[in-house]
Amino acid sequence: MFVAIGWIVVLGSVIGSFVGVGGHLPALVQPFELLCIFGAAMGAFVVSNPKSTLGKTIKALPTCFKGGGYTKAQYLELIALLYELLQKARKEGMMALEADIEAPENSPIFQKYARVLADHHLLDFIVDYLRMMSGGNVNPMEMQDLMDEELDTHHAEVSVAPNAIQKMADGLPAFGIVAAVMGVVHTMGSVGQPPAVLGEMIAGALVGTFLGILLAYGFVGPIADLLNAKGRAATKPFQCVKAVLLASLAGYAPPVAVEFGRKVLFTADRPSFKELDETVRATKTPKPA
Protein backbone atom coordinates (compact mmCIF):
# COMPACT_ATOMS: atom_id res chain seq x y z
CA MET A 1 0.00 0.00 0.00
CA PHE A 2 2.75 2.45 0.94
CA VAL A 3 4.55 1.64 -2.31
CA ALA A 4 1.49 2.67 -4.31
CA ILE A 5 1.07 5.80 -2.20
CA GLY A 6 4.70 6.72 -2.75
CA TRP A 7 4.44 6.25 -6.50
CA ILE A 8 1.29 8.38 -6.60
CA VAL A 9 3.11 11.14 -4.69
CA VAL A 10 6.08 10.95 -7.07
CA LEU A 11 3.91 11.15 -10.18
CA GLY A 12 1.61 13.76 -8.68
CA SER A 13 4.50 16.01 -7.68
CA VAL A 14 6.39 15.75 -10.97
CA ILE A 15 3.44 15.92 -13.35
CA GLY A 16 1.60 18.45 -11.19
CA SER A 17 4.54 20.83 -11.18
CA PHE A 18 4.97 20.43 -14.95
CA VAL A 19 1.32 21.20 -15.64
CA GLY A 20 1.39 23.98 -13.04
CA VAL A 21 4.01 25.96 -14.95
CA GLY A 22 2.02 25.65 -18.16
CA GLY A 23 3.47 22.46 -19.59
CA HIS A 24 1.44 20.35 -21.98
CA LEU A 25 0.96 16.86 -20.57
CA PRO A 26 0.80 15.08 -23.98
CA ALA A 27 4.42 16.15 -24.55
CA LEU A 28 5.49 13.73 -21.81
CA VAL A 29 3.71 10.78 -23.40
CA GLN A 30 6.49 9.15 -25.40
CA PRO A 31 5.84 5.38 -25.48
CA PHE A 32 8.75 4.59 -27.79
CA GLU A 33 11.17 6.47 -25.55
CA LEU A 34 9.86 4.38 -22.65
CA LEU A 35 10.24 1.20 -24.70
CA CYS A 36 13.85 2.07 -25.51
CA ILE A 37 14.76 2.85 -21.90
CA PHE A 38 12.93 0.10 -20.07
CA GLY A 39 13.48 -2.53 -22.75
CA ALA A 40 17.23 -1.91 -22.86
CA ALA A 41 17.41 -1.90 -19.06
CA MET A 42 15.54 -5.21 -18.86
CA GLY A 43 17.81 -6.71 -21.50
CA ALA A 44 20.92 -5.62 -19.61
CA PHE A 45 19.36 -6.98 -16.40
CA VAL A 46 18.90 -10.41 -17.99
CA VAL A 47 22.43 -10.43 -19.42
CA SER A 48 24.14 -9.37 -16.18
CA ASN A 49 22.39 -11.78 -13.80
CA PRO A 50 22.32 -15.59 -13.61
CA LYS A 51 19.06 -17.49 -13.83
CA SER A 52 18.92 -17.94 -10.06
CA THR A 53 19.05 -14.17 -9.52
CA LEU A 54 16.26 -13.61 -12.03
CA GLY A 55 14.10 -16.12 -10.16
CA LYS A 56 14.84 -14.56 -6.77
CA THR A 57 14.04 -11.10 -8.12
CA ILE A 58 10.70 -12.22 -9.54
CA LYS A 59 9.82 -13.82 -6.20
CA ALA A 60 11.00 -10.80 -4.21
CA LEU A 61 9.05 -8.12 -6.09
CA PRO A 62 5.57 -9.11 -4.77
CA THR A 63 6.86 -8.81 -1.19
CA CYS A 64 7.13 -5.05 -1.71
CA PHE A 65 3.35 -4.87 -1.60
CA LYS A 66 2.99 -7.08 1.47
CA GLY A 67 3.47 -6.39 5.16
CA GLY A 68 6.81 -6.19 6.91
CA GLY A 69 8.65 -8.80 8.94
CA TYR A 70 8.04 -9.94 12.47
CA THR A 71 5.89 -7.79 14.74
CA LYS A 72 6.34 -7.37 18.47
CA ALA A 73 3.71 -10.07 19.11
CA GLN A 74 5.49 -12.48 16.78
CA TYR A 75 8.84 -11.83 18.45
CA LEU A 76 7.20 -12.60 21.78
CA GLU A 77 5.95 -15.86 20.27
CA LEU A 78 9.46 -16.72 19.07
CA ILE A 79 11.05 -15.91 22.42
CA ALA A 80 8.36 -17.88 24.27
CA LEU A 81 9.15 -20.92 22.12
CA LEU A 82 12.86 -20.63 22.88
CA TYR A 83 12.10 -20.24 26.57
CA GLU A 84 9.96 -23.38 26.64
CA LEU A 85 12.61 -25.40 24.84
CA LEU A 86 15.43 -24.22 27.08
CA GLN A 87 13.34 -24.68 30.21
CA LYS A 88 12.59 -28.27 29.22
CA ALA A 89 16.27 -28.87 28.50
CA ARG A 90 17.26 -27.39 31.85
CA LYS A 91 14.83 -29.59 33.78
CA GLU A 92 15.14 -32.84 31.84
CA GLY A 93 18.44 -32.49 30.00
CA MET A 94 19.20 -31.60 26.39
CA MET A 95 18.46 -35.15 25.25
CA ALA A 96 14.84 -34.59 26.27
CA LEU A 97 14.54 -32.26 23.26
CA GLU A 98 15.42 -35.00 20.78
CA ALA A 99 11.81 -35.72 19.79
CA ASP A 100 11.04 -31.99 19.48
CA ILE A 101 14.13 -31.42 17.34
CA GLU A 102 13.73 -34.38 15.00
CA ALA A 103 10.02 -33.84 14.33
CA PRO A 104 9.08 -30.27 15.28
CA GLU A 105 5.80 -30.49 13.38
CA ASN A 106 4.72 -33.21 15.85
CA SER A 107 6.15 -31.48 18.91
CA PRO A 108 3.58 -30.21 21.44
CA ILE A 109 5.88 -27.26 22.11
CA PHE A 110 6.37 -26.22 18.48
CA GLN A 111 2.71 -26.76 17.64
CA LYS A 112 1.79 -23.91 19.99
CA TYR A 113 3.79 -21.47 17.86
CA ALA A 114 2.35 -21.69 14.35
CA ARG A 115 4.23 -18.66 12.95
CA VAL A 116 7.62 -20.14 13.80
CA LEU A 117 6.57 -23.60 12.63
CA ALA A 118 5.56 -22.13 9.26
CA ASP A 119 8.89 -20.31 8.84
CA HIS A 120 10.97 -23.22 7.55
CA HIS A 121 14.27 -21.33 7.37
CA LEU A 122 14.01 -20.10 10.95
CA LEU A 123 12.74 -23.48 12.15
CA ASP A 124 15.73 -25.24 10.59
CA PHE A 125 18.05 -22.69 12.18
CA ILE A 126 16.60 -23.38 15.63
CA VAL A 127 16.55 -27.17 15.47
CA ASP A 128 19.98 -27.46 13.82
CA TYR A 129 21.72 -25.58 16.60
CA LEU A 130 19.70 -27.26 19.33
CA ARG A 131 20.80 -30.56 17.81
CA MET A 132 24.42 -29.44 18.05
CA MET A 133 23.92 -28.36 21.65
CA SER A 134 22.29 -31.68 22.55
CA GLY A 135 25.35 -33.49 21.20
CA GLY A 136 27.45 -32.00 24.00
CA ASN A 137 31.00 -30.62 24.04
CA VAL A 138 30.07 -27.59 21.95
CA ASN A 139 32.55 -24.74 22.10
CA PRO A 140 30.51 -21.50 22.47
CA MET A 141 33.01 -19.46 20.45
CA GLU A 142 33.07 -21.95 17.60
CA MET A 143 29.28 -22.14 17.57
CA GLN A 144 29.08 -18.34 17.49
CA ASP A 145 31.48 -18.24 14.54
CA LEU A 146 29.39 -20.83 12.72
CA MET A 147 26.20 -18.86 13.40
CA ASP A 148 27.85 -15.69 12.12
CA GLU A 149 28.89 -17.47 8.93
CA GLU A 150 25.37 -18.78 8.39
CA LEU A 151 23.85 -15.35 9.01
CA ASP A 152 26.32 -13.79 6.59
CA THR A 153 25.24 -16.34 4.00
CA HIS A 154 21.58 -15.59 4.71
CA HIS A 155 22.21 -11.85 4.36
CA ALA A 156 24.04 -12.39 1.07
CA GLU A 157 21.14 -14.44 -0.26
CA VAL A 158 18.46 -11.90 0.65
CA SER A 159 20.60 -9.11 -0.84
CA VAL A 160 20.81 -10.71 -4.29
CA ALA A 161 17.50 -9.35 -5.60
CA PRO A 162 17.80 -5.77 -4.26
CA ASN A 163 21.39 -5.50 -5.47
CA ALA A 164 20.37 -6.59 -8.95
CA ILE A 165 17.47 -4.14 -9.01
CA GLN A 166 19.72 -1.34 -7.76
CA LYS A 167 22.17 -1.96 -10.60
CA MET A 168 19.26 -1.74 -13.01
CA ALA A 169 18.21 1.56 -11.43
CA ASP A 170 21.76 2.88 -11.76
CA GLY A 171 21.67 2.18 -15.49
CA LEU A 172 18.30 3.76 -16.25
CA PRO A 173 19.57 7.39 -16.49
CA ALA A 174 22.20 6.24 -19.00
CA PHE A 175 19.57 4.48 -21.09
CA GLY A 176 17.52 7.67 -20.86
CA ILE A 177 20.44 9.51 -22.43
CA VAL A 178 20.60 6.85 -25.15
CA ALA A 179 16.93 7.45 -25.93
CA ALA A 180 17.49 11.22 -25.91
CA VAL A 181 20.47 10.97 -28.27
CA MET A 182 18.45 8.80 -30.62
CA GLY A 183 15.74 11.47 -30.57
CA VAL A 184 18.28 14.20 -31.33
CA VAL A 185 19.71 12.16 -34.20
CA HIS A 186 16.20 11.76 -35.58
CA THR A 187 15.65 15.50 -35.20
CA MET A 188 18.91 16.38 -36.98
CA GLY A 189 17.80 14.20 -39.85
CA SER A 190 14.67 16.29 -40.15
CA VAL A 191 16.19 19.78 -40.24
CA GLY A 192 14.07 20.68 -43.22
CA GLN A 193 10.93 20.58 -41.11
CA PRO A 194 9.28 23.78 -39.81
CA PRO A 195 10.57 25.15 -36.46
CA ALA A 196 7.39 24.10 -34.66
CA VAL A 197 7.84 20.50 -35.75
CA LEU A 198 11.54 20.51 -34.84
CA GLY A 199 10.73 21.95 -31.42
CA GLU A 200 8.26 19.16 -30.79
CA MET A 201 10.81 16.55 -31.86
CA ILE A 202 13.52 17.99 -29.60
CA ALA A 203 11.08 18.07 -26.69
CA GLY A 204 10.26 14.42 -27.31
CA ALA A 205 13.96 13.57 -27.34
CA LEU A 206 14.55 15.31 -24.01
CA VAL A 207 11.74 13.27 -22.46
CA GLY A 208 14.08 10.27 -22.71
CA THR A 209 16.50 11.78 -20.20
CA PHE A 210 13.57 12.80 -18.03
CA LEU A 211 12.07 9.30 -18.01
CA GLY A 212 15.39 7.60 -17.30
CA ILE A 213 16.05 9.73 -14.24
CA LEU A 214 12.45 9.55 -13.01
CA LEU A 215 12.29 5.76 -13.30
CA ALA A 216 15.67 5.35 -11.59
CA TYR A 217 15.13 7.59 -8.57
CA GLY A 218 11.36 7.59 -8.28
CA PHE A 219 10.45 3.96 -8.93
CA VAL A 220 13.14 1.32 -9.39
CA GLY A 221 15.75 2.59 -6.90
CA PRO A 222 13.26 2.88 -4.01
CA ILE A 223 12.12 -0.70 -4.68
CA ALA A 224 15.71 -1.88 -4.20
CA ASP A 225 15.98 0.11 -0.95
CA LEU A 226 12.71 -1.36 0.30
CA LEU A 227 13.84 -4.92 -0.43
CA ASN A 228 17.12 -4.23 1.37
CA ALA A 229 15.19 -3.01 4.42
CA LYS A 230 12.99 -6.11 4.33
CA GLY A 231 16.11 -8.26 4.09
CA ARG A 232 17.60 -6.67 7.20
CA ALA A 233 14.31 -7.20 9.04
CA ALA A 234 14.21 -10.84 7.92
CA THR A 235 17.63 -11.44 9.49
CA LYS A 236 16.64 -10.12 12.90
CA PRO A 237 14.70 -13.25 14.08
CA PHE A 238 17.81 -15.33 13.38
CA GLN A 239 19.93 -12.92 15.42
CA CYS A 240 17.42 -13.20 18.25
CA VAL A 241 17.67 -17.01 18.22
CA LYS A 242 21.45 -16.78 18.06
CA ALA A 243 21.63 -14.52 21.11
CA VAL A 244 19.31 -16.74 23.16
CA LEU A 245 21.05 -20.02 22.34
CA LEU A 246 24.55 -18.64 22.90
CA ALA A 247 23.48 -17.20 26.26
CA SER A 248 22.05 -20.59 27.23
CA LEU A 249 25.24 -22.31 26.10
CA ALA A 250 27.20 -19.88 28.27
CA GLY A 251 25.27 -21.14 31.30
CA TYR A 252 22.57 -18.51 31.74
CA ALA A 253 19.17 -19.63 32.99
CA PRO A 254 16.32 -19.52 30.43
CA PRO A 255 14.74 -16.32 31.87
CA VAL A 256 18.07 -14.53 31.46
CA ALA A 257 18.92 -16.14 28.11
CA VAL A 258 15.73 -14.88 26.48
CA GLU A 259 16.55 -11.38 27.71
CA PHE A 260 19.66 -11.55 25.51
CA GLY A 261 17.36 -12.24 22.57
CA ARG A 262 15.08 -9.35 23.44
CA LYS A 263 17.95 -6.90 23.53
CA VAL A 264 19.09 -7.53 19.95
CA LEU A 265 15.71 -6.59 18.46
CA PHE A 266 15.03 -3.25 16.80
CA THR A 267 13.53 -0.74 19.22
CA ALA A 268 10.26 -0.47 17.29
CA ASP A 269 9.64 -4.22 17.57
CA ARG A 270 11.30 -4.92 20.92
CA PRO A 271 8.95 -6.07 23.69
CA SER A 272 9.40 -4.40 27.05
CA PHE A 273 10.87 -6.35 29.94
CA LYS A 274 7.42 -6.53 31.51
CA GLU A 275 5.83 -7.85 28.31
CA LEU A 276 8.51 -10.50 28.00
CA ASP A 277 8.21 -11.47 31.65
CA GLU A 278 4.44 -11.85 31.35
CA THR A 279 4.83 -13.97 28.22
CA VAL A 280 7.41 -16.20 29.87
CA ARG A 281 5.26 -16.65 32.95
CA ALA A 282 2.30 -17.60 30.76
CA THR A 283 4.28 -20.48 29.25
CA LYS A 284 4.93 -22.10 32.60
CA THR A 285 2.81 -25.15 33.25
CA PRO A 286 0.78 -24.72 36.41
CA LYS A 287 1.63 -27.09 39.21
CA PRO A 288 -0.90 -29.87 39.84
CA ALA A 289 -3.16 -29.35 42.83
Residue 289: pLDDT band with limits 50, 70, 90: very low
CA distance 4 to 270: 28
pLDDT above 90: residue 202: no
Phi-psi map region of 66: left, alpha, beta (phi>0 left; psi -120 to 50 alpha)? beta
* Residue range 167-197, pLDDT digits in tens: 999 999 999 999 999 988 988 888 778 888 8
pLDDT above 90: residue 199: no
CA distance 247 to 243: 6
The whole model's pTM is what?
A: 0.84
pLDDT above 50: residue 280: yes
The pLDDT of residue 2: 87
CA distance 24 to 36: 22
**Domain spans of the chain?**
27-284
Residue 288: pLDDT band with limits 50, 70, 90: very low
Longest dimension (CA), the chain: 101
